[in-house]
Amino acid sequence: MRAGRAALSCAVWLTCLPSLGICALPGSSLLPLGTDLGDGAFDRPREVFRSESAGGHKSYMVVLGDVAFSSPKLLGGVARQSGISCGTCHVNGASSSLFYIPGLSTRHGNFDTTSPVFNPKTDDSVLDPLTIPSLRGAHLLAPYGHDGRTSSLRDFVRNVVVNEFSGPEPSPQVLDALVAYVDDIDFVPNPRLGAGGRLVGEVSRQERHGEKLFNRPFPHDPTLSCAGCHQPAEAFVDHRQHDVGSGGLFKTPTLRNANFNAPYFHDGRFDSYEQVVDHFNRTFELGLSARDRADLTAYLKAIGGGDRGVTADDVPTRIKECTDFATALDTAIPQRDAAAAILVVDTLDREWRELTEKFPEPKDTTVTGGLEQRAKARVAAKAMVLALREVARALEEGHFDEAAAGLGRYRERLPATVAAMEEAKSWSLFDRPLHDKHFAAMQTLLEVGALKTQ
């Protein structure tokens, strides 16, 4: 599966399309034309936290880690300048099946982590892209990396920041926070899974038979079974690496919430469970009939499901994220921790600028109607950005009381801003048909742009 790297084309990246008044991937001029950072996705993975599922709330460290996870400033070089953060790839802590960089990806959802683009020092001159894993349930999934090379989550995360993405050495606090956040990301609940990973509820005949096959020893090697490696009581992993005929030793991936994790295997070679099951059937000569294979697939779908694993992007979810992020300031400001507070304000600033862009400007011809409502929503969102700038200025000058007062004013503005956004929702990119139309127009223009630069 290994091939020489295709030369990265240094095409001119169009950031803006003035004719339509829309901008694509602001600041991504360092990545080749055809890059897809997943901005066009309407649905987003649902984020569930262990602390909240347990009836509690996210700690300061978890929130600060979530903030850092969403900040391109944590990374360095091309990633930072292109606006890429941990969350660009691990969307809401899950995966991204859209992510694509020409020359680095062989398909959407994978990319080469050892290429010269993000850190020339890691380049191994081989195109060996890896799929972006979901971090749901990460606390149960050591060792880390597809090859399971690192047992410590902290070491893995530091390596991602410093070596993979040329970021500056993170402070111990930021690193601890990132780890606390990743450690708190939960699987979305699957009502079909009972104690010990047993299938419960209305189990169909197919699923029941699939479960049996999953637990049955392989005919040519009775020491092996699907369940021997994917142990149902252990989140369907065994914390070990195996050669399953995919080109090396890789860790057993979890099958929980795996319905949302395609493409499958370390390099994303398979699109579906059907293909995975065919692979095991061939490689281990399991002699499964077409019906057995369908039953096993039905079982995988049942255990790999999750309640609302993806949800439509909407105003309340975005606002909850901003509100959660801002709570970190209630600790950082009284503690006079300027570094942490500035990171939070900077990330919030980015979130609000992104939210502003959800309400297209009048000159964007892909959206008609709701001009007044859109303008009001934009003005309101921009006022949030300005309020945050005041907080930032106070923090930079070391005036923590002023920063606290500024945070108060930011919060006072929030309800009116949310109301303006809700009013304008049906003419915004929070409207699915409009969203799809907008991104389709942008895609067309990018293709025209690509032709022009050839």
According to the binding rule CB under 6 A, does residue 250 interact with ligand HEC?
Answer: yes
Residue among 49, 100, 144, 430 that touches ligand HEC (CB under 6 A):
144
The contact mask relative to ligand HEC for 87-126 (x = CB under 6 A, - = no) is: -xxx--------------------x-x-------------
Distance CA 95, CA 6 (A): 25
Residues 338 and 395: beta-carbon distance below 8 Å = yes
Distance CA 284, CA 376 (A): 62
- Least CB distance to ligand HEC at residue 135 (A): 5
Distance CA 3, CA 101 (A): 16
- Count of C-beta atoms within a 10 Å radius of residue 200: 12
According to the binding rule CB under 6 A, does residue 156 interact with ligand HEC?
Answer: yes
> With CB under 6 A as the contact rule, which of the stretches 8-16, 20-28, 153-161, 413-421 interacts with ligand HEC?
153-161
According to the binding rule CB under 6 A, does residue 246 interact with ligand HEC?
Answer: yes
> With CB under 6 A as the contact rule, which of the stretches 43-51, 227-235, 360-368, 408-416 interacts with ligand HEC?
227-235
Distance CA 75, CA 70 (A): 10
Is the Cβ of residue 115 or residue 373 nearer to ligand HEC in the bound state? 115
- Least CB distance to ligand HEC at residue 395 (A): 23
Residue among 242, 353, 382, 393 that touches ligand HEC (CB under 6 A):
242
Cis ω before 168 (30° cut-off from 0): no
Q: Which two tokens stand for residue 167?
A: 């970021």
For 100, what's the count of Cα atoms within 13 Å in the CB-facing half-sphere? 15
According to the binding rule CB under 6 A, does residue 61 interact with ligand HEC?
Answer: no
Q: Which two tokens stand for residue 414?
A: 């929030």
Residues 41 and 100: beta-carbon distance below 8 Å = no
- Least CB distance to ligand HEC at residue 54 (A): 21
Q: Which two tokens stand for residue 320?
A: 């909850």
Distance CA 157, CA 161 (A): 6
Token pair 């890691």: residue? 122
Residues 202 and 108: beta-carbon distance below 8 Å = no
Distance CA 183, CA 448 (A): 44
According to the binding rule CB under 6 A, does residue 261 interact with ligand HEC?
Answer: yes
- Read off the amino acid at residue 413: R
- Least CB distance to ligand HEC at residue 403 (A): 26
Distance CA 83, CA 255 (A): 31
Distance CA 180, CA 176 (A): 6
- Least CB distance to ligand HEC at residue 5 (A): 16
Is the Cβ of residue 41 or residue 414 nearer to ligand HEC in the bound state? 41
The contact mask relative to ligand HEC for 277-316 (x = CB under 6 A, - = no) is: x--x---------------x---x----------------
- Least CB distance to ligand HEC at residue 370 (A): 35
The contact set with ligand HEC (CB under 6 A) reads: 69, 74, 84, 86, 88-90, 111, 113, 130, 132-133, 135, 138, 141, 144-146, 153, 156-157, 160-161, 178, 182, 224, 226, 228-230, 242, 244, 246, 250, 252-253, 255, 258, 261, 264-266, 273, 276-277, 280, 296, 300
